[in-house]
C-alpha cells in the first residue's frame, strides 16, 4: 500500500494477520478501523523499573513480578476447589492462590507458562498472592534485562478465544504504526504550547511504543487531558447554553418574603445570608440561575429554598421541589407549609402512590396555575405533570439524580431557574467535573445552637449497655433512631433485617413505644409512623436506610447504626445528621459486627471529625469514585485513562481550556474535529445543549 492510501478509517482487516476470526473478535470489542485500534491503549507496561524481584518482596507490597510457573494444580479443601500455582523468577518463589473459579483458571495457567503477576503480597506459610491479576507473556520477552518497555493490552475472553495474545497485539500495532501520521490534532500549536502538551500524534505513538518512562508519562498526560477536556467542554457548553436563555428578572424583597424572614424563629447564619444573596443576584438577572448549594447536613438549606420559592411566587411563577424519597418529600412539604401558610401561598404534595382522584385534582390545579408550589419525588418529572408557569426548580440531594433527569425537569419550564442542594460534600477536584455545569454556593457554618454529636464505635458485645443508655435518654423525654443496613451477604432484604431487628428490640425495650418504617410501606403508613415520631408518641424509630436523607426531628438525641461497617462514611455522616438538630446533647453509636483492620480505621474517622469534607475525602480515597457515587451516575464518566481523584491539575487546565474555547466559539463552528468527537461520544448528554 502506498503512503497516500493510508486512512484512519481503513478496516483492520487490511492489516497483516487479521483473518475473519480475529476480525470478528475485534469487531465484537468495537474495534473496526485502524483508528479504533490505535485508541485501544495498553493496560500495563513492563520494564525494569516496574518489576520487582521475588527476593526483594515485602509484606503488603502491591507489586508486579515476572516469572515462570513451576508447578500448579487444584487442591481440595473443605468441599472447595482451590487452584494454586508456584511462580519463580530465579530469586525465589511465590504462591498464587485462587479460591474461586479453580477449574476455569486451570485451563488458563499451565506449567512453564511465563506470567507477569500483579497483586498484594501476603504471608501464609511463605509469600503468596490471592487472586492475582496476571498477564501471560511470551517467552522471548525479557523486560528486566533488555531495558525495553513492553506494552500489555487488555485481553478479554473474546480476544483470547480468537488467539489474540500480547505478542500478536504488539505486532498488529506495528502494522498500524504508519497510520499514526494521519492523526490530526484537535488543538493548534499555540494551545498545546500554552498547556504544555505534546501533539496527539506523538501521544498515540508513545502510548503504544514508548521509548522511555518520561515519553510515556507525557503521552498519558496528553491523552488524559483530552478526556477531561471533552467532559469540561460539555460542561462549558451546558453553562453557556443555559446562560444564553433569556429570563425575565425577578424582583426581590416583596412583602411575603420579608414577612417570612421576620418570623423565622431564629437568626439566619452569615453563610445562609450570603447564599441567599448569591441566589438573589442570579434570579434578579436576565439569564436562568443554575446554582448548586452545598452544605453539610443540618446547616439549614431548606429555609434557603423556602425563601427563594417565595420570591418566585411573588413574581407570579410556580415552583417545583424535587426530593429523592417520598419521606423526604413529605417532610419538606411540612417544612414548607409551616412558612407558606403564613403568607397564603398554596402548596401541594405529589407522590407516586397517591390515590388517583386526589392526584388528578392536584395535577389540574397545577396546570391552571392554582397551586404555587409543588413538592414531590421523581413523580414530578413524569409526562403527566404540567405546569402553568414553572419558574423555579429546587432539587434536593441532587447527587441522587442523574444529570439527564435534571434536564428532563428543566424542559418542563420555559426557562426555569434551577437550585440544586446537596449535603454530600464532594471533594473540590471532583466537584469541578461532576457539577462543572453549575455555579456553586457553600454553607460552611452551622446554626449557633448546634452541639457536636458524640460518636462512638462499639462492639456488639456492649450493646446491652448501649440499650440501657437509650432507655435513660427516653426516660428524659428524648427519642432514638435505630438503623439497619442493606444485607447483601445473606441475601436477606434490608426489610427483613429491619423487621427481624424490630421484633428483637421490642423485647429489649419493654414499655417503650417502637415504630418501624421502611421503603416497602404504603405512603399512608409511613406518614402515620413519621407523624407519631415527630409527635413523640413513638420513642424509638427502627428504620431501613430510607431515613438517610433529610429527616428532621429535633427531639431525637441518639442514633444507633447496626452493621455500621457496611456503610460508606458519607452515608454514615448523613445518618448521623438525623440527630443533634435540637438543643440536647446527641449521640451516634456505630455498632460494628464484623471488625476488620480497614473498617476500624474507616469508622474512627467519624469518631474524630464532623467535617463532611474531610469525611468525603477519606471515603473517596478508601472506596474510589465508583462507589462514592450511586450507580446511575457512574456511567457518566467515560474515562479510559483519566482519573477524577488524582488528576486535579489536569482537570483545572482542561476546565479553563474548555471555557476559553467556548467563550470564543460557543457553537464550535471553528472546531469541527472537536465537535465531531463530542457528537460521537457524548451525544447522550446533549439534552440542554445546542451546537448543531
Segment interacting with ligand ADP (CB under 6 A) among 9-17, 190-198, 246-254, 292-300: 292-300
Q: How far is the CB of 264 from ligand ADP (least distance, A)?
A: 7
Q: Looking only at residues 446 through 485 of this chain, which bind ligand ADP when binding is defined by CB under 6 A?
A: 447, 449
How far apart CA 540 and CA 559 sit, in angstroms, is 9
How many angstroms separate the Cα of 534 from the Cα of each of 134, 310, 374, 665? Answer: 56, 26, 22, 55
Among 266, 358, 504, 660, binds ligand ADP (CB under 6 A): 266
Q: How far is the CB of 326 from Mg ion (least distance, A)?
A: 15
Segment interacting with ligand ADP (CB under 6 A) among 247-255, 266-274, 495-503, 538-546: 266-274
Q: How far is the CB of 615 from ligand ADP (least distance, A)?
A: 15
How many angstroms separate the Cα of 506 from the Cα of each of 442, 485, 541, 555, 678? Answer: 42, 19, 11, 21, 58
Identify what 479 binds: Mg ion, ligand ADP, none; CB under 5 to 8 Å per kind: none
Q: How far is the CB of 573 from Mg ion (least distance, A)?
A: 14
Determine if 268 is a binding residue for ligand ADP (CB under 6 A).
yes
Determine if 297 is a binding residue for ligand ADP (CB under 6 A).
yes
How far apart CA 212 and CA 149 sit, in angstroms, is 7
CA-CA-CA-CA torsion sign (132, 133, 138, 143): negative
DSSP string, 117-129: EEEE-EESSSEEE
Residue 447, SS3?
Answer: coil
Binding residues for ligand ADP, total number by CB under 6 A? 19
SS (H, E, C) 374-434: EEECHHHHCCCCCCCCEEEEEEECHHHCCHHHHHHHHCCCCCCEEEEEECCCCCHHHHHHH
Residue 73, SS3?
Answer: strand
Cell matching residue 411: 424542559
Cell matching residue 83: 487452584
Residue number with CB closer to ligand ADP (97 or 423): 423
Determine if 299 is a binding residue for ligand ADP (CB under 6 A).
yes
Biggest CA-to-CA distance, the chain = 90
Number of CB atoms found within 10 A of residue 106's CB: 16
Determine if 302 is a binding residue for ligand ADP (CB under 6 A).
yes
Q: Map grid coordinates 407570579 to a residue.
A: 316
Q: How far is the CB of 637 from Mg ion (least distance, A)?
A: 26
Segment interacting with ligand ADP (CB under 6 A) among 222-230, 291-299, 348-356, 405-413: 291-299
Residue number with CB closer to ligand ADP (269 or 405): 269
Residue number with CB closer to ligand ADP (298 or 436): 298
Among 67, 376, 391, 550, binds Mg ion (CB under 5 A): 550
Determine if 441 is a binding residue for ligand ADP (CB under 6 A).
no
Residue nearest Mg ion (C-beta atom): 550
Say if residues 350 and 423 touch (Cβ distance below 8 Å): no
What is the number of alpha carbons within 13 Å of residue 321 lying toward its C-beta? 33
Residue 531 dihedral angles phi and psi, to the nearest 5°: -60, -45
Residue number with CB closer to ligand ADP (99 or 266): 266
Determine if 87 is a binding residue for ligand ADP (CB under 6 A).
no
Q: How far is the CB of 377 from ligand ADP (least distance, A)?
A: 16
Identify what 581 binds: ligand ADP, Mg ion, none; CB under 5 to 8 Å per kind: ligand ADP
Residue 687, SS3?
Answer: helix
Determine if 581 is a binding residue for ligand ADP (CB under 6 A).
yes
Determine if 269 is a binding residue for ligand ADP (CB under 6 A).
yes
Rg value, the chain, Cα = 30
Residue number with CB closer to ligand ADP (325 or 688): 325
Residue number with CB closer to ligand ADP (267 or 353): 267
Residue number with CB closer to ligand ADP (305 or 348): 305
Residues 6 or more apart whose CB falls under 8 angstroms from that of 306 comprise 260, 335, 336, 339, 340
Q: How far is the CB of 332 from Mg ion (least distance, A)?
A: 8
Among 298, 413, 425, 657, binds ligand ADP (CB under 6 A): 298
The count of residues in the chain is 692
The one-character DSSP state at 149 is -
Segment interacting with Mg ion (CB under 5 A) among 82-90, 259-267, 446-454, 544-552: 544-552
Cell matching residue 168: 500478536
In the stretch 511-550, what mask flags binding to ligand ADP with x, by CB under 6 A? ---------------------------------------x
Residue number with CB closer to ligand ADP (64 or 610): 610
Determine if 300 is a binding residue for ligand ADP (CB under 6 A).
yes
Q: How far is the CB of 337 from Mg ion (least distance, A)?
A: 16
How many angstroms separate the Cα of 358 from the Cα of each of 320, 349, 355, 367, 521? Answer: 18, 10, 6, 14, 19
Where on the chain is the footprint of ligand ADP (CB under 6 A)?
266-269, 272, 295, 297-303, 423, 447, 449, 550, 552, 581
Where on the chain is the footprint of Mg ion (CB under 5 A)?
550
Amino acid at each position: 500500500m502506498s503512503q497516500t492510501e493510508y486512512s484512519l478509517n481503513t478496516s483492520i482487516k487490511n492489516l497483516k494477520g487479521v483473518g475473519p476470526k480475529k476480525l470478528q473478535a475485534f469487531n465484537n470489542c468495537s474495534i473496526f478501523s485502524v483508528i479504533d485500534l490505535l485508541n485501544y491503549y495498553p493496560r500495563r507496561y513492563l520494564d525494569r523499573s516496574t518489576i520487582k524481584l521475588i527476593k526483594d518482596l515485602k509484606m503488603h507490597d502491591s507489586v508486579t513480578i515476572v516469572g515462570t510457573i513451576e508447578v500448579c494444580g487444584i487442591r481440595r479443601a473443605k468441599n472447595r476447589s482451590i487452584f494454586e500455582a508456584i511462580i519463580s523468577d530465579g530469586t525465589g518463589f511465590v504462591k498464587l492462590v485462587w479460591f474461586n473459579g479453580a477449574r476455569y483458571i486451570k485451563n488458563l495457567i499451565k506449567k512453564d507458562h511465563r506470567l507477569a503477576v500483579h497483586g498484594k503480597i501476603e504471608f501464609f506459610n511463605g509469600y503468596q498472592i490471592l487472586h492475582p491479576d496476571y498477564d501471560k507473556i511470551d517467552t522471548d520477552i525479557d523486560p528486566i534485562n533488555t531495558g525495553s518497555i513492553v506494552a500489555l493490552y487488555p485481553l478479554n475472553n473474546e480476544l483470547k478465544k480468537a488467539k489474540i495474545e500480547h505478542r500478536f497485539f504488539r505486532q498488529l500495532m506495528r502494522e498500524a504504526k504508519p497510520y499514526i501520521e494521519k492523526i490530526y490534532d484537535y488543538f493548534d500549536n499555540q494551545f498545546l504550547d500554552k498547556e504544555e502538551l505534546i501533539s496527539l500524534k506523538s501521544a498515540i505513538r508513545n502510548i503504544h511504543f514508548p521509548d522511555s518512562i518520561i515519553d510515556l508519562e507525557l503521552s498519558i498526560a496528553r491523552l488524559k487531558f483530552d478526556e477531561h477536556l471533552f467532559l469540561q467542554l460539555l460542561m462549558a457548553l451546558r453553562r453557556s447554553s443555559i446562560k444564553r436563555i433569556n429570563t425575565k428578572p425577578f424582583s426581590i424583597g416583596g412583602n411575603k418574603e420579608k414577612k417570612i424572614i421576620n418570623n423565622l424563629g431564629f437568626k439566619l447564619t452569615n453563610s445562609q445570608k450570603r447564599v441567599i444573596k448569591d441566589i438573589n443576584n442570579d434570579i434578579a438577572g436576565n439569564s436562568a440561575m443554575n446554582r448548586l448549594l452545598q452544605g453539610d447536613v443540618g446547616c439549614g438549606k431548606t429555609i434557603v429554598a423556602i425563601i427563594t420559592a417565595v420570591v418566585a411566587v411573588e413574581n407570579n411563577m410556580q415552583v417545583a421541589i424535587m426530593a429523592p424519597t417520598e419521606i423526604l418529600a413529605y417532610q419538606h412539604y411540612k417544612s414548607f407549609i409551616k412558612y407558606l401558610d403564613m403568607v397564603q401561598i398554596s402548596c401541594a404534595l405529589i407522590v407516586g402512590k397517591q390515590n388517583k382522584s386526589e392526584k388528578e385534582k392536584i395535577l389540574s390545579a397545577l396546570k391552571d396555575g392554582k397551586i404555587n408550589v409543588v413538592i414531590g419525588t421523581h413523580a414530578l418529572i413524569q409526562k403527566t405533570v404540567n405546569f402553568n408557569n414553572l419558574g423555579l426548580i429546587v432539587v434536593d440531594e441532587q447527587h441522587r439524580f442523574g444529570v439527564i433527569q435534571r434536564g428532563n425537569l428543566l424542559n418542563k419550564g420555559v426557562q426555569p431557574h434551577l437550585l440544586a442542594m446537596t449535603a454530600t460534600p464532594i471533594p473540590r477536584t471532583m466537584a469541578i467535573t461532576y457539577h462543572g455545569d453549575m455555579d456553586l454556593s457553600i454553607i460552611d457554618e452551622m446554626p449557633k445552637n448546634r452541639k457536636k454529636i458524640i460518636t462512638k464505635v462499639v462492639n456488639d458485645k456492649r450493646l446491652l449497655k448501649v440499650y440501657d443508655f437509650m432507655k435513660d435518654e427516653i426516660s428524659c423525654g428524648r427519642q432514638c433512631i435505630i438503623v439497619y443496613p442493606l444485607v447483601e451477604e445473606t441475601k436477606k432484604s434490608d426489610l427483613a433485617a429491619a423487621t427481624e431487628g424490630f421484633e428483637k428490640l421490642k423485647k429489649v425495650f419493654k414499655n417503650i413505644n417502637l415504630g418501624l418504617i421502611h421503603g416497602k410501606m404504603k405512603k399512608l403508613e409511613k406518614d402515620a409512623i413519621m407523624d407519631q415520631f415527630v409527635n413523640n408518641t413513638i420513642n424509638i424509630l427502627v428504620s431501613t436506610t430510607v431515613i438517610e436523607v433529610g429527616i428532621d426531628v429535633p427531639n431525637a438525641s441518639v442514633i444507633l447504626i447496626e452493621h455500621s461497617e457496611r456503610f460508606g462514611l458519607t452515608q454514615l455522616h448523613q445518618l448521623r445528621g438525623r440527630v443533634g438538630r435540637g438543643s440536647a446533647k446527641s449521640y451516634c453509636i456505630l455498632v460494628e459486627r464484623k471488625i476488620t483492620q480497614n473498617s476500624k480505621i474507616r469508622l474512627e474517622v467519624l469518631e474524630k471529625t464532623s467535617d463532611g469534607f474531610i469525611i468525603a475525602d477519606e471515603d473517596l480515597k478508601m472506596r474510589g469514585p465508583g462507589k462514592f457515587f450511586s450507580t446511575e451516575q457512574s456511567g457518566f464518566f467515560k474515562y479510559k485513562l483519566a482519573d477524577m481523584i488524582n488528576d486535579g491539575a489536569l482537570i483545572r487546565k482542561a476546565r479553563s481550556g474548555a471555557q476559553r474555547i467556548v467563550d470564543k466559539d460557543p457553537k464550535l463552528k471553528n472546531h469541527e474535529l472537536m465537535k465531531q468527537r463530542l457528537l460521537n461520544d457524548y451525544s447522550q448528554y446533549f439534552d440542554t445543549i445546542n451546537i448543531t
